[in-house]
Amino acid sequence: MRSLIPNVPPSESELAEAFSLLKLDADDLRCVYCGDRSTEWDHFHPVMRNGRPTGYLTRIQNLVPACGKCNQSKGNRDWRDWMTSNAPRSPTTRGVRKLSQRMKRLQSFEAWGAEATVDFETVLGRDAIKQHNDYLKQILSLMREAEAHSKALRSALLDELPYVLQEKKPSLWRRLWRLLFGGR
Q: Summarize pLDDT for 159-179 with one digit per residue, the tens.
A: 877 766 666 666 666 776 777
Q: pTM for the full model? A: 0.74
Nearest to 57 by CA among 65, 49, 46, 70: 46
Q: pLDDT category, 85, cuts 50, 70, 90?
A: very high
Say if CB 113 and CB 129 are below 8 A apart.
no
Nearest to 7 by CA among 60, 44, 49, 46: 60
Give 83 or 117, the one with higher predicted confidence.
83
